[in-house]
A and B are shown apart, each in its own frame.
Chain A
Amino acid sequence: MDITLPILILAIPFLMFLILGIGGVKMSRKLAGVLGILGMGSVMTLSYVVALTYFFSGDAAFIVDGVRQQLQVFDVTWLAFTDRLVVNIGFLLDPISAMMLVVITTISFMVHLYSWGYMEHEPGFQRYYAFLSLFSFSMLGLVVATNIFQMYIFWELVGVSSYLLIGFFYKLPSAVSASKKAFIVTRFADLFMLIGILVLSWYVSQTPADGPLGGASAFNFMMLNSQPTNVLASTLGATFMGGSVLTWAMILIFVGGMGKSAMMPLHIWLPDAMEGPTPVSALIHAATMVVAGVYLVARFFPLYCIVPDSLTFITVVGAITAFYAAVVACAQIDIKRVLAFSTISQIAFMMVSLGCAYNEPVEGVHYSGLGYMASMFHLFTHAMFKALLFLGAGALIHAVHSNNYTSMGGLRKYMPITHWTFLIGCLAIAGIPPFSGFFSKDEMLAAMFSRHWFWGAWMTMVAGLTAFYMFRLYYLIFWWEENPEYKNGHKPHDAPWQMSLPLIILAAVSCVAGFIPFGELVTFNGEPYHIHIEAPVAATSITVAVLAIALATVMYRKKNSMPEKMKNIWPGLWTAANRRFYWDEMYQWVTHTVIFGCICRGIAWFDRHIIDGTMDGLAAVTQFCSVKIKGMQSGSVQTYVAWYLLGAILLGAITWICIL
């Protein structure tokens, strides 16, 4: 493939960032918006060209004997630590990166367009578009990374663009602290990822250059993934606390993914990140950046597969997180928080699905790589419908000027476009055919059942919860009881076309995306797989979803006292769920009381009083002595002489005694 397109895909957003960031102050809003949208539009077109060429051209570079190939379109040295630890910046084209290019640029373009309407009256409009471009650049760089270090670089950059965008309304203290929290929590996770990379790459780089791993950089994905057993061999020698080095390295790297993808217990930043502008939540905190963790695991899938312990770890973390987030989502009032927890839950779904995949044929399992394919499929469909839901929520907030469903209700009459698109989103996420979520979720559940019935049953339950809380939200926003304020004065209405158009497009995509022959395009080893619906699994999940929706309908369609009664059966549970099971309070206590209060203050005190006290003490002792003996310099010559004489006699006496 010609390298111009890939370079342009990365260069345009970056240049856009520089242009809008530096020149934005002097630009009119309109020019900045148009520039941003045009820039992203062109990147989207280029990405489509690249992805379509990759998937469908049938070129021998991309597909050999029906197997899709990985190729590094370009790969240039950026920094060489040692001969074997060389950081390259490149462009890796393979099924998942091509798929991600499409997802990122599509959602990003929609958000650029949507923001033109949504952010119209906000100060700092140009800055906003600059940050969006920076984010798009970083995210694209992340998915096309040819090596783990490049991924880490862009991983940090998406972190910082997320920080900047969450804190976009920088005059609000809540936005500032949310952005800070998001950055620090993900940074904390990145620390583990860095240590994981250190460990993995060091062991791999210890193999001789002409050894089984060849002379390639120890960071390179293609090298690592094509020779997983060799990597294992090179790291087998050492163990640490019962696990092989590779297991530890892979788990540490996954912890980085846990931070970005808001898995328990590092999920606390994502709900707060909703302080950012809603389109940003749609782009970063629903569709693209938060799935980086899933993408990371998928990228390293061959390595994860050879250390099954790490896959089990991923499955367990995912399963717990999915359930936890679904329960919490049932008790939130802020609609964006419901969606945020829903995102956490869905990402955990993808994680479990990946954890349940195998990379080689297993007896009794119909298709071993199903979990991988399904996870990527769900990543794709989820990005579309979750962005749709968030943008819909943005339209609602734009109209009502509140984030809480308590000030909504009965909106279906006032905002028909929003209503219908939101409903499509809810159906998709609930897993009702023929909407896209059904297909991907069905494949994921099938994969989980093939690993162990427990995971399948557990996640089916989570899927039921998902359907319940989404329809609870839907009914509370659009049905329930009409807010009396709408009658007199302020009437909510649908958003302008810049905002409605993305909703309609994404809704359309969510309707049809399930019929994409995804298995033909993206699989763990590049060989096509023909998706077919597993009837028993599908039947169960549809039944569960329908039942959950029915329950939600009964409870929330019209205003009634049932929710209140149910809440009062066990009020402690509802409050705990509403307060997210006190995770934030726990972190607050640890960071503020223990780390700030004890460690930092303790060290600062120690420094001022003990270390500096010692230094000041030395000075004080010197001064004390000099004050004490300064009286001897009395100004009287004769006293000096007397002292001198005494000293001389004394010295003479000592000398005399010593000599004798």
Chain B
Amino acid sequence: MFSNILIWFVIVPVLMMAGLACCGNGNMKAIRGVMVTGSIVLLAMAVWLVVDFLGLRASGVADEMLYAGSWMWYKPLNIHLAVGVDGISVLMILLSAVIVFAGTFASWKINPLPKNFFLWFCLLSTGVFGFFISIDMFTMFMFYEVALIPMYLLIGVWGTGRKEYSAMKLTLMLMGGSAFLMLGLLGIYWHSAPEGGQLTWNILEISHNNSIDAGWQNLLFCFTFVGFGVLGAMFPFHTWSPDGHACAPTAVSMLHAGVLMKLGGYGCFRIAIFLLPSAAQELAWIFIVLTGISIVYGAFSACVQTDLKYINAYSSVSHCGMVLFAILMLNKTAMTGGILQMLSHGLMTALFFALIGMIYGRTHTRDIRQMGGLMKIMPYLGVCYMIAGFASLGLPGLSGFVAEMTIFFGAFENASLFHRVFVIAATTSIVITAVYILRVVGKLILGPVHDEHHLQLTDASWWERLSTVTLILCLAGIGFFPNWINETIQQSFVPIINALNLAAV
């Protein structure tokens, strides 16, 4: 069991928690030591995993899931700890590792209770990594919950503003989503095998059995898609996102918007579409309408917000809407674009939230009306903010452009008028995004200095630079050399496309 690398993605965060537990509460040096070591190990493991994965694929290993392993956990319900990764999960793990790394440095001076903060932070990462490595629905769901619950404490204790309200709202709405999800997963489990067969939680086996009849598929699709869609900030279940993000501490916003919201999109295609293909074809239109609204609606809402984090949260609604929208297009190109958008949005929003945290830490306000001309005061952060903005509005050379274009070109492959109208509606978001990004950049970064007191503020420290540079390099890396990622993702979509084709016949 321990010879499987994937398991170590869960064990390392647990070890980090153990290490943190041994540190004294005020001993920042030891706490940072544990966190930095741990996150570097995770990052190194993730990079190694990607390289090795690509190597294996290149050498012709054609299994759907590599590094697969399965250990019985609870016999009566046939629950396994089953792990395995394909190209998409590998990239997601890399994304999570990058953001955990950047998040550690972004919360270098967290106060109060640094030890407890990082304990919960590690628990959250455990859940995230566990989710991406699992191919057993039950363990997947369990890790999903493990990732969600720490949010409550992280926001409620270390947050700012109306933190109790936001933490409660976020947790309750996500738990509501989980309830739907649990129903859906149980339903899938009870139909996972033909009459008399051994029921299973294993995604690959369920897909292979293909034994869920059309009527049940429709019901379960709605449950699972809404369940994951809540986490993916799908309209009209997105309102936890602005409040939650606005009140969360920096690293938590980063991890939440950067990775946790991706759990929603990932679950949507891995479970809802892969296991329920015929329902996906039949009911996709409902969710295309909802996500289409998300895209435009989030962008328009972002135009008039005055709190930096609200702007970004609404922008996330728009961008994450794009992820689900792409996945619902049910063809390889668009879905690939959806995954690229997840990666891109993850990195970009993490960068945004990190920068907002850094700016807030200095000016003690997030209201754009009370700031201005930060470029003159903190040029490094200003430039980074502009780069993040450009990534968000889809500048070629950064990852957002690649993702959006892949989505548009893929989505346009669906020839019906309905799809076309929504694709064109979705493309308008590139203009609206430009409007709100440039509005913020113009008010916040450029222009004359608004507040004389801000002139005394300092520019980024080394840990902040490390955190932002890591993310910017990743953004530019995807933007410049998208094709290897594109190919990796496309390859991994083959089983899903096959399942869809099979259902269409």
**Direct A–B touching in the complex (beta carbon < 8 Å)?**
yes
Q: Name the contact of A170 in the complex, choosing from B243, B304, B333, B375 (C-beta under 8 A).
A: B375
Residues of B within 8 A of A173 (CB): 447-448
Given known contacts A171-B373, A596-B303, A596-B304, A160 and B390 CB-to-CB distance under 8 angstroms: yes
Shortest distance from the beta carbon of B120 to any chain A beta carbon, whole Å: 24
Contact present for A184 and B300 (CB under 8 Å): no
Establish whether residues A201 and B409, one from each chain, have CB atoms under 8 Å apart when the complex forms.
yes
Chain A min CB distance to B26 (Å): 37
Chain A residues whose C-beta falls within 8 Å of the C-beta of B300 in the assembled complex: 599-600, 603-604
| Stretch with Cβ within 8 A of A (4 or more), from B189-197, B215-223, B423-431, B460-468 | B423-431
Choice from B172, B430, B442, B487 contacting A194 with Cβ under 8 Å: B430
Residues of B within 8 A of A187 (CB): 393, 430-431, 434
- Whether B410 and A81, one on each chain, are in contact in the complex, defined by CB atoms closer than 8 angstroms, is yes
Of the residues B236, B379, B405, B438, contact of A184 by C-beta under 8 Å: B438
Partner of A603, one of B301, B395, B402, B487: B301
The reply to whether the CB of A191 lies closer than 8 angstroms to some CB of chain B is yes
B interface majority secondary structure = helix
The residue on A at minimum CB distance from B397 is: A157
Contact indicator B424/A195 (Cβ below 8 Å): yes
A198 CA to B396 CA, complexed, in Å: 17
On chain B, the residues within 8 Å of A202 by CB distance are: 409, 412-413
Asked if B442 contacts A79 (CB within 8 A), the reply is no
How does the 8 Å CB contact mask read for A139-158 relative to B, with 1 for contact and 0 for none? 00000000001000110110
Choose one: B235, B240, B412, B431; the contact of A191 (CB below 8 Å).
Answer: B431
Given contacts A170-B447, A603-B301, contact A78 B482 (CB under 8 A): yes
Select which of B173, B333, B434, B447 is within 8 A of A615 by beta carbon. B173
Q: Which of B351-393 contact A (CB under 8 A)?
A: 373, 375-376, 379, 390, 393
A549 to chain B, nearest CB (A): 43
- CB–CB B396/A157 < 8 A: yes
8 Å CB interface, B431-482 against A: 431, 434-435, 438-439, 442, 445-448, 482
B residues within 8 A CB of A77?
A: 483
Inter-chain contact B373/A79, CB cutoff 8 Å: no
Residues from chain B with a CB closer than 8 A to the CB of A78 are 482-483
In the bound complex, residues from chain A placing their C-beta under 8 Å from that of B405 are 79, 81, 149
- Judged by a CB distance under 8 angstroms, whether B408 is at the interface is yes
| Distance (whole angstroms) from the CB of B21 to the closest CB of chain A | 35
The answer to whether the Cβ of B210 comes within 8 Å of any Cβ in the partner chain is: no
Compute how far the CA of A603 lies from the CA of B427 in the bound complex, rounded to whole angstroms. Answer: 19
> What distance in Å separates the Cβ of B378 from its nearest Cβ neighbour in chain A?
13
In the bound assembly, the distance between CA atoms of A157 and B303 in angstroms comes to 23
Give A155 to B435 CA distance when docked, in angstroms: 18
Query: For the complex, what is the distance from the CA of A77 to the CA of B483, rounded to whole Å?
Result: 8
Tell yes or no: B401 within 8 A of A by CB.
Answer: yes
Q: Is A44 an interface residue when CB atoms closer than 8 A count as contact?
A: no
A269 within 8 A of B: no
- Are the CB atoms of A600 and B427 closer together than 8 Å? no
CA of A327 to CA of B67 in the docked complex: distance in angstroms? 72
Q: Which residue of B lies closest to A191 (CB)?
A: B431
B-chain residues with CB within 8 Å of residue A170 when the two chains form the complex: 375, 445-447
Cα separation A176 to B448 with both chains bound (whole Å) = 10
Does A579 touch B at the CB level, under 8 Å? Answer: no
Evaluate contact between B239 and A180: CB separation under 8 angstroms. no
Interface residue tally on B, bucketed by range: 35 or more
Most buried by A among B235, B236, B376: B236
Please indicate the chain A residues that have their CB under 8 angstroms from the CB of B373 in the complex. 171
Instruction: For chain B, residues 219 to 240, give those with C-beta under 8 angstroms from any C-beta of chain A.
Output: 235-236, 238-240
A491 at the interface (CB under 8 A from B): no
- Bitwise, A172-198 to B at CB < 8 A (1) or not (0) is 110011011001100110110011001
B253 at the interface (CB under 8 A from A): no
Q: Does B169 touch A at the CB level, under 8 Å?
A: yes
Known pairs A79-B483, A81-B333, A156-B395; A615 contacts B431 (CB<8 A): no
Complex contacts, A198 vs chain B, CB 8 Å: 408-409, 412, 423, 427
The CA of A154 and the CA of B301, in the complex, are separated in Å by 30
Q: Mark A614-632, 1 if CB is under 8 A from B, else 0.
A: 1100010000000000000
Chain B min CB distance to A424 (Å): 38
Known: A157-B395, A173-B448. A601 touches B304 (CB 8 A): yes
CB B167 to nearest CB in A, in angstroms, measures: 13
Question: Shortest CB–CB separation between residue B183 and chain A, in angstroms?
Answer: 18
Residue of B nearest to A607 (CB): B301
Q: Give residues 83-105 of A contacting B (CB, 8 Å).
A: 85
Q: Is A28 an interface residue (CB 8 A)?
A: no
**Contacting residue for B236 out of A179, A190, A195, A611, CB 8 A:** A611
Tell me the complex Cα distance, A612–B487, Å: 40
Q: Does B305 contact A (CB under 8 A)?
A: yes
B235 contact set on A, CB distance < 8 A: 611
**Minimum Cβ distance to chain B for residue A590 (Å):** 13
Smallest beta-carbon distance B201→chain A, Å: 31
A4 adjacent to chain B (CB < 8 Å): no
Q: How far, in angstroms, from A157 to B479 measured CA to CA in the complex?
A: 13
Chain B residues, CB < 8 A from A176: 442, 446-447
* Contact (Cβ within 8 A) A167 B413: no
What are 20 residue pairs bridging A and B, where the CB atoms are less than 8 Å apart in the complex? Answer: A79-B405, A80-B483, A80-B487, A81-B409, A160-B390, A163-B438, A171-B373, A171-B447, A179-B442, A183-B434, A187-B430, A188-B431, A191-B430, A194-B427, A195-B424, A198-B409, A603-B301, A604-B304, A607-B239, A611-B235
* Supplied contacts A171-B376, A191-B431, A194-B408, 17 more A-B pairs, CB within 8 Å: A80-B487, A81-B410, A82-B333, A82-B410, A85-B333, A149-B405, A157-B397, A171-B373, A176-B447, A183-B434, A190-B430, A198-B412, A600-B300, A603-B301, A611-B239, A615-B239, A619-B172
Q: Which 6 A-B pairs have the closest CB atoms?
A: A170-B446, A153-B396, A600-B303, A612-B239, A600-B304, A603-B300
Residues on A facing B (Cβ under 8 Å):
25, 77-82, 85, 149, 153-154, 156-157, 160, 163, 167, 170-173, 176-177, 179-180, 183-184, 187-188, 190-191, 194-195, 198-199, 201-202, 596, 599-601, 603-604, 607, 611-612, 614-615, 619
